[in-house]
Amino acid sequence: MPVVLHVDKRIFNEAYYPHLHNNARVQIYFGGSSSGKSFFIAGQRAVLDVAEGGHNYLCVRNVKNTVKTSIFNEVCKGITALKLDKHFKINQSDFVITCANGYQILFGGLDDVQKIKSITPAKGVITNIIVEEATETTEDDIKQLQRRLRGRSQVAKTLTMLFNPILQDHWICRVYFTNWDDSSNYYNDSKVSILKTTYLDNLRFLEPDDIALLEDETDPYYRNVYTLGNWGVLGNVIFKNWEVRDLRSEMIDIGNGTQVSLISTFDKYKNGLDFGFSSDPAAVVRMHYDKNHKTIYITDEIYMREMTNDVLGKEVKELIGGEYITCDSAEPKSIRDLQVMGIRALGARKGKDSVNFGIDWLQRQKIVIDTHCQNTKNEFQQYKWKESADGMVLKVPVDKNNHILDAVRYAMQDEMEGRRITAEKAF
Ligand SMILES: Nc1ncnc2c1ncn2[C@@H]1O[C@H](COP(=O)(O)OP(=O)(O)OP(=O)(O)O)[C@@H](O)[C@H]1O
Ligand SMILES: [Mg+2]
Protein backbone atom coordinates (compact mmCIF):
# COMPACT_ATOMS: atom_id res chain seq x y z
CA MET A 1 0.00 0.00 0.00
CA PRO A 2 1.65 3.30 -1.06
CA VAL A 3 2.37 5.69 1.80
CA VAL A 4 2.51 9.47 1.52
CA LEU A 5 5.70 11.04 2.77
CA HIS A 6 5.49 14.51 4.19
CA VAL A 7 8.36 16.50 2.84
CA ASP A 8 9.02 20.19 3.40
CA LYS A 9 8.02 21.95 0.18
CA ARG A 10 11.01 24.29 0.44
CA ILE A 11 13.45 21.56 -0.56
CA PHE A 12 11.98 21.64 -4.06
CA ASN A 13 12.73 24.11 -6.75
CA GLU A 14 9.51 26.06 -7.39
CA ALA A 15 9.77 25.56 -11.15
CA TYR A 16 9.48 21.78 -10.80
CA TYR A 17 7.22 21.42 -7.78
CA PRO A 18 4.00 21.34 -9.87
CA HIS A 19 5.56 18.37 -11.70
CA LEU A 20 6.05 16.20 -8.64
CA HIS A 21 3.00 14.15 -9.58
CA ASN A 22 2.99 14.75 -13.32
CA ASN A 23 1.35 11.67 -14.80
CA ALA A 24 1.84 12.41 -18.50
CA ARG A 25 3.02 9.33 -20.34
CA VAL A 26 5.95 11.11 -22.05
CA GLN A 27 7.62 13.99 -20.25
CA ILE A 28 10.45 16.23 -21.32
CA TYR A 29 12.49 18.46 -19.04
CA PHE A 30 14.99 20.32 -21.14
CA GLY A 31 16.85 23.60 -21.20
CA GLY A 32 20.05 25.21 -20.05
CA SER A 33 22.77 23.77 -17.92
CA SER A 34 22.51 23.70 -14.11
CA SER A 35 18.77 24.33 -14.14
CA GLY A 36 18.08 21.54 -11.63
CA LYS A 37 16.54 19.00 -14.04
CA SER A 38 18.51 15.97 -12.92
CA PHE A 39 18.32 16.83 -9.25
CA PHE A 40 14.55 17.12 -9.32
CA ILE A 41 13.71 14.16 -11.55
CA ALA A 42 16.31 11.61 -10.44
CA GLY A 43 17.28 12.85 -6.99
CA GLN A 44 13.85 13.87 -5.70
CA ARG A 45 10.86 12.62 -7.71
CA ALA A 46 12.20 9.11 -8.37
CA VAL A 47 13.38 8.64 -4.79
CA LEU A 48 10.11 9.84 -3.29
CA ASP A 49 7.96 7.80 -5.68
CA VAL A 50 9.85 4.64 -4.81
CA ALA A 51 9.88 5.42 -1.09
CA GLU A 52 6.12 5.94 -1.19
CA GLY A 53 5.72 2.59 -2.92
CA GLY A 54 4.05 1.26 -6.06
CA HIS A 55 6.77 2.60 -8.39
CA ASN A 56 9.83 0.92 -9.82
CA TYR A 57 12.20 3.13 -11.79
CA LEU A 58 14.54 2.30 -14.61
CA CYS A 59 17.16 5.02 -15.18
CA VAL A 60 19.11 4.84 -18.41
CA ARG A 61 21.71 6.59 -20.47
CA ASN A 62 22.85 5.72 -23.94
CA VAL A 63 26.07 4.06 -22.87
CA LYS A 64 26.34 1.96 -19.73
CA ASN A 65 29.72 3.24 -18.59
CA THR A 66 28.37 6.80 -18.24
CA VAL A 67 25.56 5.78 -15.88
CA LYS A 68 27.50 5.60 -12.63
CA THR A 69 29.04 9.05 -12.85
CA SER A 70 25.78 10.70 -13.79
CA ILE A 71 22.29 9.49 -12.96
CA PHE A 72 23.30 6.82 -10.43
CA ASN A 73 25.22 9.41 -8.38
CA GLU A 74 22.33 11.82 -8.75
CA VAL A 75 19.89 9.34 -7.20
CA CYS A 76 22.33 8.48 -4.37
CA LYS A 77 22.81 12.19 -3.66
CA GLY A 78 19.05 12.64 -3.60
CA ILE A 79 18.51 9.82 -1.09
CA THR A 80 21.00 11.45 1.28
CA ALA A 81 19.57 14.94 0.79
CA LEU A 82 16.12 13.57 1.64
CA LYS A 83 17.61 11.88 4.73
CA LEU A 84 16.30 8.54 3.55
CA ASP A 85 19.61 6.64 3.67
CA LYS A 86 18.42 4.15 6.23
CA HIS A 87 15.45 3.20 4.05
CA PHE A 88 17.50 2.39 0.95
CA LYS A 89 20.08 -0.28 0.21
CA ILE A 90 22.51 0.80 -2.49
CA ASN A 91 24.32 -1.90 -4.40
CA GLN A 92 27.24 -0.05 -5.98
CA SER A 93 28.45 -2.92 -8.12
CA ASP A 94 25.13 -3.96 -9.66
CA PHE A 95 23.63 -0.46 -9.77
CA VAL A 96 20.52 -1.54 -7.94
CA ILE A 97 18.88 0.60 -5.28
CA THR A 98 16.26 -1.10 -3.14
CA CYS A 99 13.88 0.58 -0.76
CA ALA A 100 12.84 -1.12 2.48
CA ASN A 101 9.35 -1.47 0.98
CA GLY A 102 10.77 -3.71 -1.78
CA TYR A 103 10.45 -1.24 -4.66
CA GLN A 104 13.57 -0.48 -6.66
CA ILE A 105 15.51 1.95 -8.80
CA LEU A 106 17.42 0.10 -11.51
CA PHE A 107 20.01 1.45 -13.92
CA GLY A 108 21.32 0.50 -17.31
CA GLY A 109 22.89 1.58 -20.58
CA LEU A 110 21.02 1.32 -23.85
CA ASP A 111 24.12 -0.35 -25.30
CA ASP A 112 23.49 -3.27 -22.95
CA VAL A 113 20.49 -4.38 -25.01
CA GLN A 114 19.99 -7.76 -23.36
CA LYS A 115 19.97 -6.28 -19.87
CA ILE A 116 17.59 -3.51 -20.83
CA LYS A 117 15.22 -6.03 -22.38
CA SER A 118 15.25 -8.41 -19.47
CA ILE A 119 15.73 -6.18 -16.45
CA THR A 120 12.90 -6.65 -13.95
CA PRO A 121 12.37 -5.32 -10.47
CA ALA A 122 12.05 -7.62 -7.47
CA LYS A 123 8.44 -6.64 -6.95
CA GLY A 124 5.92 -5.55 -9.59
CA VAL A 125 6.88 -4.06 -12.95
CA ILE A 126 8.85 -1.07 -14.18
CA THR A 127 6.51 1.89 -13.95
CA ASN A 128 8.78 4.84 -14.67
CA ILE A 129 11.72 5.34 -16.96
CA ILE A 130 14.15 8.24 -16.89
CA VAL A 131 16.41 8.85 -19.86
CA GLU A 132 19.30 11.09 -18.81
CA GLU A 133 20.99 13.10 -21.63
CA ALA A 134 18.28 11.87 -24.00
CA THR A 135 19.82 13.61 -27.02
CA GLU A 136 22.36 10.77 -27.03
CA THR A 137 19.64 8.27 -27.93
CA THR A 138 17.92 7.31 -31.17
CA GLU A 139 14.20 7.45 -31.82
CA ASP A 140 14.17 3.68 -32.03
CA ASP A 141 15.80 3.34 -28.59
CA ILE A 142 13.01 5.39 -27.06
CA LYS A 143 10.35 3.37 -28.88
CA GLN A 144 11.87 0.20 -27.46
CA LEU A 145 11.87 1.70 -23.98
CA GLN A 146 8.22 2.64 -24.32
CA ARG A 147 7.47 -1.00 -24.97
CA ARG A 148 8.89 -1.73 -21.52
CA LEU A 149 6.00 0.26 -20.08
CA ARG A 150 3.28 -1.91 -21.56
CA GLY A 151 0.94 -3.68 -19.18
CA ARG A 152 -1.14 -2.64 -16.24
CA SER A 153 -0.08 -1.14 -12.97
CA GLN A 154 -1.72 0.80 -10.17
CA VAL A 155 0.26 3.95 -10.88
CA ALA A 156 0.52 5.92 -14.10
CA LYS A 157 3.49 4.87 -16.18
CA THR A 158 5.85 7.55 -17.41
CA LEU A 159 8.89 7.99 -19.59
CA THR A 160 10.86 11.14 -18.81
CA MET A 161 13.63 12.55 -20.95
CA LEU A 162 16.22 15.06 -19.70
CA PHE A 163 18.61 16.95 -21.91
CA ASN A 164 20.25 20.14 -23.11
CA PRO A 165 18.87 21.06 -26.55
CA ILE A 166 22.15 20.66 -28.41
CA LEU A 167 20.97 20.47 -32.03
CA GLN A 168 17.84 21.75 -33.67
CA ASP A 169 17.80 18.96 -36.25
CA HIS A 170 17.61 16.35 -33.51
CA TRP A 171 14.85 13.71 -33.76
CA ILE A 172 13.42 14.78 -30.37
CA CYS A 173 12.88 18.28 -31.73
CA ARG A 174 11.25 16.90 -34.87
CA VAL A 175 8.95 14.47 -33.04
CA TYR A 176 7.92 16.39 -29.92
CA PHE A 177 8.46 20.10 -30.57
CA THR A 178 6.31 20.77 -33.63
CA ASN A 179 3.85 22.81 -31.57
CA TRP A 180 6.36 24.19 -29.10
CA ASP A 181 6.15 27.95 -28.71
CA ASP A 182 9.29 29.67 -27.48
CA SER A 183 7.34 32.42 -25.76
CA SER A 184 6.22 29.94 -23.10
CA ASN A 185 8.22 27.56 -20.94
CA TYR A 186 5.56 24.86 -20.80
CA TYR A 187 3.62 22.81 -23.32
CA ASN A 188 1.43 19.77 -23.12
CA ASP A 189 -0.87 17.77 -25.33
CA SER A 190 -2.03 14.17 -25.38
CA LYS A 191 1.40 13.05 -26.53
CA VAL A 192 3.85 14.91 -24.34
CA SER A 193 4.43 17.31 -21.45
CA ILE A 194 7.41 19.65 -21.91
CA LEU A 195 9.02 22.00 -19.37
CA LYS A 196 11.90 24.28 -20.25
CA THR A 197 14.15 25.62 -17.48
CA THR A 198 17.41 27.52 -17.26
CA TYR A 199 19.87 28.40 -14.49
CA LEU A 200 17.59 31.36 -13.72
CA ASP A 201 15.04 28.85 -12.41
CA ASN A 202 17.63 27.35 -10.09
CA LEU A 203 19.43 30.40 -8.67
CA ARG A 204 18.60 29.42 -5.10
CA PHE A 205 20.74 26.29 -5.39
CA LEU A 206 23.66 27.61 -7.43
CA GLU A 207 27.01 29.03 -6.34
CA PRO A 208 28.02 32.46 -7.69
CA ASP A 209 30.78 30.75 -9.71
CA ASP A 210 28.26 28.47 -11.49
CA ILE A 211 26.15 31.49 -12.36
CA ALA A 212 29.11 33.56 -13.56
CA LEU A 213 30.26 30.74 -15.83
CA LEU A 214 26.92 30.70 -17.63
CA GLU A 215 26.43 34.47 -17.69
CA ASP A 216 29.93 35.15 -18.98
CA GLU A 217 29.58 32.78 -21.92
CA THR A 218 30.38 34.69 -25.08
CA ASP A 219 30.18 32.03 -27.77
CA PRO A 220 26.74 32.38 -29.39
CA TYR A 221 26.13 28.62 -29.69
CA TYR A 222 27.09 27.76 -26.12
CA ARG A 223 25.22 30.77 -24.79
CA ASN A 224 22.07 29.86 -26.70
CA VAL A 225 22.05 26.21 -25.63
CA TYR A 226 23.58 26.11 -22.15
CA THR A 227 22.80 29.58 -20.77
CA LEU A 228 19.47 30.24 -22.45
CA GLY A 229 18.26 26.66 -22.99
CA ASN A 230 17.23 27.06 -26.64
CA TRP A 231 17.61 24.49 -29.41
CA GLY A 232 21.07 25.01 -30.87
CA VAL A 233 22.24 25.47 -34.39
CA LEU A 234 25.78 24.28 -34.55
CA GLY A 235 27.87 26.09 -37.14
CA ASN A 236 31.63 26.14 -37.53
CA VAL A 237 32.22 22.67 -36.17
CA ILE A 238 35.85 21.69 -36.32
CA PHE A 239 35.59 17.97 -37.04
CA LYS A 240 33.30 16.44 -39.62
CA ASN A 241 35.68 13.63 -40.51
CA TRP A 242 34.42 11.13 -37.94
CA GLU A 243 31.92 8.34 -37.71
CA VAL A 244 30.63 6.02 -35.01
CA ARG A 245 30.90 2.26 -35.46
CA ASP A 246 30.49 -0.74 -33.24
CA LEU A 247 34.12 -1.80 -33.47
CA ARG A 248 33.68 -4.66 -31.05
CA SER A 249 31.29 -6.51 -33.30
CA GLU A 250 32.82 -5.62 -36.70
CA MET A 251 34.43 -8.54 -38.51
CA ILE A 252 36.94 -8.48 -41.36
CA ASP A 253 38.11 -11.05 -43.84
CA ILE A 254 41.82 -11.87 -43.54
CA GLY A 255 41.90 -14.23 -46.52
CA ASN A 256 40.83 -17.86 -47.10
CA GLY A 257 37.37 -16.81 -45.99
CA THR A 258 38.64 -16.45 -42.42
CA GLN A 259 36.82 -13.81 -40.44
CA VAL A 260 38.29 -12.14 -37.39
CA SER A 261 37.07 -9.22 -35.37
CA LEU A 262 38.44 -5.91 -36.59
CA ILE A 263 39.53 -4.89 -33.12
CA SER A 264 41.65 -8.02 -32.72
CA THR A 265 43.82 -6.80 -35.62
CA PHE A 266 44.69 -3.53 -33.90
CA ASP A 267 48.32 -3.52 -32.87
CA LYS A 268 49.41 0.07 -32.78
CA TYR A 269 47.75 1.59 -29.77
CA LYS A 270 48.26 5.20 -28.75
CA ASN A 271 47.00 6.63 -25.49
CA GLY A 272 46.42 10.15 -24.28
CA LEU A 273 45.42 11.72 -20.98
CA ASP A 274 44.12 15.11 -20.00
CA PHE A 275 44.11 15.70 -16.25
CA GLY A 276 41.11 17.19 -14.50
CA PHE A 277 39.41 16.99 -11.19
CA SER A 278 36.25 18.86 -10.27
CA SER A 279 34.51 20.84 -13.00
CA ASP A 280 36.86 19.47 -15.67
CA PRO A 281 36.92 15.69 -15.86
CA ALA A 282 40.04 13.58 -16.24
CA ALA A 283 39.91 12.15 -19.76
CA VAL A 284 41.79 9.16 -21.15
CA VAL A 285 41.51 7.78 -24.68
CA ARG A 286 42.96 4.71 -26.31
CA MET A 287 43.19 4.45 -30.07
CA HIS A 288 44.74 2.37 -32.81
CA TYR A 289 46.35 4.21 -35.71
CA ASP A 290 46.25 2.73 -39.19
CA LYS A 291 48.86 4.92 -40.81
CA ASN A 292 48.45 3.49 -44.31
CA HIS A 293 44.83 4.51 -44.40
CA LYS A 294 45.28 7.57 -42.17
CA THR A 295 42.60 6.21 -39.91
CA ILE A 296 42.35 6.58 -36.15
CA TYR A 297 40.17 4.03 -34.38
CA ILE A 298 39.16 5.24 -30.94
CA THR A 299 38.37 2.12 -28.95
CA ASP A 300 38.19 3.12 -25.27
CA GLU A 301 37.69 6.12 -23.06
CA ILE A 302 37.78 6.99 -19.36
CA TYR A 303 35.99 10.18 -18.40
CA MET A 304 35.49 10.97 -14.75
CA ARG A 305 35.35 13.80 -12.28
CA GLU A 306 36.76 13.88 -8.76
CA MET A 307 39.14 11.03 -9.39
CA THR A 308 42.37 11.12 -7.35
CA ASN A 309 45.58 10.12 -9.13
CA ASP A 310 45.68 6.71 -7.48
CA VAL A 311 42.15 5.88 -8.69
CA LEU A 312 42.93 7.32 -12.12
CA GLY A 313 46.19 5.35 -12.23
CA LYS A 314 44.40 2.10 -11.43
CA GLU A 315 41.89 2.65 -14.23
CA VAL A 316 44.62 3.65 -16.69
CA LYS A 317 46.75 0.65 -15.86
CA GLU A 318 43.82 -1.66 -16.37
CA LEU A 319 43.15 -0.10 -19.75
CA ILE A 320 46.62 0.25 -21.24
CA GLY A 321 48.86 -2.22 -19.36
CA GLY A 322 52.44 -1.63 -20.48
CA GLU A 323 51.65 0.79 -23.32
CA TYR A 324 52.83 4.40 -23.30
CA ILE A 325 50.46 7.20 -22.47
CA THR A 326 51.09 10.83 -23.35
CA CYS A 327 49.70 13.24 -20.77
CA ASP A 328 49.05 16.93 -20.35
CA SER A 329 52.49 18.22 -19.31
CA ALA A 330 51.00 21.02 -17.20
CA GLU A 331 50.81 18.53 -14.32
CA PRO A 332 54.27 17.00 -13.85
CA LYS A 333 53.42 15.86 -10.35
CA SER A 334 50.44 13.86 -11.58
CA ILE A 335 52.58 12.31 -14.30
CA ARG A 336 55.11 11.37 -11.63
CA ASP A 337 52.31 9.78 -9.53
CA LEU A 338 51.32 7.61 -12.48
CA GLN A 339 54.93 6.64 -13.18
CA VAL A 340 55.36 5.56 -9.56
CA MET A 341 52.43 3.23 -10.12
CA GLY A 342 54.32 1.61 -13.00
CA ILE A 343 52.53 3.43 -15.81
CA ARG A 344 54.61 4.52 -18.80
CA ALA A 345 53.35 8.08 -18.59
CA LEU A 346 55.07 10.88 -20.50
CA GLY A 347 54.40 14.58 -20.85
CA ALA A 348 53.21 16.01 -24.15
CA ARG A 349 55.27 18.75 -25.75
CA LYS A 350 53.42 22.01 -25.89
CA GLY A 351 54.49 24.67 -28.28
CA LYS A 352 53.02 27.83 -29.61
CA ASP A 353 50.19 26.82 -31.95
CA SER A 354 50.28 23.18 -30.85
CA VAL A 355 46.49 23.11 -30.53
CA ASN A 356 45.83 24.39 -34.04
CA PHE A 357 48.63 22.30 -35.46
CA GLY A 358 47.06 19.21 -33.87
CA ILE A 359 43.59 20.09 -35.09
CA ASP A 360 44.87 20.64 -38.58
CA TRP A 361 46.53 17.21 -38.61
CA LEU A 362 43.50 15.46 -37.13
CA GLN A 363 41.25 17.05 -39.76
CA ARG A 364 43.26 15.23 -42.41
CA GLN A 365 42.64 11.79 -40.86
CA LYS A 366 39.60 9.59 -40.83
CA ILE A 367 38.39 9.09 -37.27
CA VAL A 368 36.29 6.11 -36.23
CA ILE A 369 34.77 6.19 -32.76
CA ASP A 370 33.53 3.05 -31.06
CA THR A 371 29.86 3.24 -30.04
CA HIS A 372 30.76 2.80 -26.37
CA CYS A 373 32.86 5.97 -26.28
CA GLN A 374 29.94 8.32 -25.61
CA ASN A 375 31.95 11.24 -24.24
CA THR A 376 34.26 11.08 -27.24
CA LYS A 377 31.26 11.30 -29.56
CA ASN A 378 29.84 14.20 -27.59
CA GLU A 379 33.08 16.16 -27.75
CA PHE A 380 33.69 15.55 -31.46
CA GLN A 381 30.11 16.57 -32.21
CA GLN A 382 30.31 19.94 -30.48
CA TYR A 383 33.91 21.07 -30.87
CA LYS A 384 33.73 24.35 -32.74
CA TRP A 385 35.58 27.46 -33.74
CA LYS A 386 34.99 30.53 -31.63
CA GLU A 387 32.75 33.24 -32.99
CA SER A 388 32.92 36.86 -32.04
CA ALA A 389 29.74 38.55 -30.82
CA ASP A 390 29.13 39.84 -34.37
CA GLY A 391 29.33 36.33 -35.80
CA MET A 392 32.90 36.37 -37.20
CA VAL A 393 34.54 32.94 -37.12
CA LEU A 394 37.88 33.01 -35.35
CA LYS A 395 40.58 30.43 -35.89
CA VAL A 396 40.51 29.58 -32.20
CA PRO A 397 38.61 26.57 -30.84
CA VAL A 398 36.10 27.17 -28.05
CA ASP A 399 37.89 26.04 -24.91
CA LYS A 400 35.07 23.75 -23.75
CA ASN A 401 34.22 20.07 -23.84
CA ASN A 402 37.69 19.42 -25.19
CA HIS A 403 39.16 17.04 -22.64
CA ILE A 404 39.04 13.92 -24.78
CA LEU A 405 40.03 15.98 -27.80
CA ASP A 406 43.14 17.24 -26.03
CA ALA A 407 43.95 13.68 -25.01
CA VAL A 408 43.62 12.55 -28.65
CA ARG A 409 46.07 15.26 -29.70
CA TYR A 410 48.55 14.21 -27.02
CA ALA A 411 48.24 10.56 -28.00
CA MET A 412 48.92 11.28 -31.66
CA GLN A 413 51.63 13.85 -31.10
CA ASP A 414 54.52 11.71 -32.32
CA GLU A 415 52.65 10.76 -35.48
CA MET A 416 51.82 14.39 -36.14
CA GLU A 417 55.39 15.45 -35.78
CA GLY A 418 56.72 12.47 -37.69
CA ARG A 419 58.72 11.28 -34.71
CA ARG A 420 59.38 7.70 -33.94
CA ILE A 421 60.20 8.17 -30.31
CA THR A 422 57.48 8.83 -27.76
CA ALA A 423 56.98 12.13 -26.03
CA GLU A 424 59.60 13.80 -23.93
CA LYS A 425 59.64 13.43 -20.21
CA ALA A 426 57.81 16.18 -18.42
CA PHE A 427 60.69 16.96 -16.13
N1 LIG B 1 16.19 21.26 -4.90
C2 LIG B 1 17.52 21.35 -4.82
N3 LIG B 1 18.17 21.33 -3.62
C4 LIG B 1 19.51 21.42 -3.55
N5 LIG B 1 20.32 21.54 -4.61
C6 LIG B 1 19.75 21.55 -5.82
C7 LIG B 1 18.33 21.46 -6.00
N8 LIG B 1 18.06 21.50 -7.32
C9 LIG B 1 19.25 21.63 -7.94
N10 LIG B 1 20.26 21.66 -7.05
C11 LIG B 1 21.69 21.78 -7.36
O12 LIG B 1 21.82 22.61 -8.53
C13 LIG B 1 22.88 22.14 -9.36
C14 LIG B 1 22.40 21.95 -10.78
O15 LIG B 1 21.37 21.00 -10.80
P16 LIG B 1 21.32 19.81 -11.87
O17 LIG B 1 22.62 19.14 -12.00
O18 LIG B 1 20.15 18.99 -11.50
O19 LIG B 1 21.04 20.65 -13.18
P20 LIG B 1 20.72 20.12 -14.65
O21 LIG B 1 19.60 20.94 -15.14
O22 LIG B 1 20.54 18.65 -14.65
O23 LIG B 1 22.04 20.54 -15.40
P24 LIG B 1 22.69 19.95 -16.76
O25 LIG B 1 21.82 20.39 -17.88
O26 LIG B 1 24.02 20.61 -16.77
O27 LIG B 1 22.72 18.45 -16.60
C28 LIG B 1 23.41 20.87 -8.72
O29 LIG B 1 24.56 21.18 -8.00
C30 LIG B 1 22.30 20.45 -7.79
O31 LIG B 1 22.78 19.71 -6.72
MG1 LIG C 1 21.62 17.11 -15.61
pLDDT at 293 over 70: yes
Asked if residue 361 has its Cβ within 6 Å of ligand 1, the reply is no
- Give the pLDDT band (50/70/90) at residue 6: confident
Give mean pLDDT, residues 196-205.
98
Predicted confidence at residue 424, as pLDDT, reads 44
Predicted confidence at residue 152, as pLDDT, reads 80
Predicted confidence at residue 320, as pLDDT, reads 97
- Give the pLDDT band (50/70/90) at residue 90: very high
Asked if residue 27 has its Cβ within 6 Å of ligand 1, the reply is no
Q: How far is the CA of 401 from the centre of ligand 2 (A)?
A: 15
pTM: 0.88
Q: How far is the CA of 107 from the centre of ligand 2 (A)?
A: 16
Give mean pLDDT, residues 251-261.
90
Most confidently predicted of 197-201, 259-263, 395-399 = 197-201
Ligand nearest to the CA of 201: 1
Higher-confidence residue of 260 and 391: namely: 260
Q: How far is the CA of 34 from the centre of ligand 2 (A)?
A: 7
- Give the pLDDT band (50/70/90) at residue 1: low
The Cα 84–Cα 77 span in angstroms is 10
Q: Are 177 and 188 in contact (CB under 8 A)?
A: no
Nearest atom in ligand 1 to the alpha carbon of residue 12 is 1
Q: Are 375 and 66 in contact (CB under 8 A)?
A: yes
Write the residue with the smallest CA distance to atom 11 of ligand 1.
205
Nearest atom in ligand 1 to the alpha carbon of residue 163 is 25
- Give the pLDDT band (50/70/90) at residue 419: low
* High-pLDDT (> 90) share of the chain, %: 85
pLDDT at 173 over 50: yes
Instruction: Name which of 81-95, 173-187, 303-317, 388-402 the model is least confident about.
Output: 388-402
Long-range CB contact pairs, 180-185, < 8 A, 24+: 182/230
**pLDDT, averaged across the chain:** 93
pLDDT at 427 over 80: no
* High-pLDDT (> 70) share of the chain, %: 97
Predicted confidence at residue 230, as pLDDT, reads 97
Residue type, 238: I
Predicted confidence at residue 287, as pLDDT, reads 98
Tell me how far CA of residue 344 lies from CA of 3, 313, 316, 335, in angstroms: 56, 11, 10, 9
The Cα 149–Cα 128 span in angstroms is 8
Asked if residue 224 has its Cβ within 6 Å of ligand 1, the reply is no
Q: How far is the CA of 34 from the centre of ligand 1 (A)?
A: 5
Higher-confidence residue of 318 and 117: namely: 318
Q: Determine the residue of 30, 80, 199, 205 to mutate for testing ligand 1's pocket, defined as the one with the most ligand atoms within 8 A of the Cβ atom.
A: 205
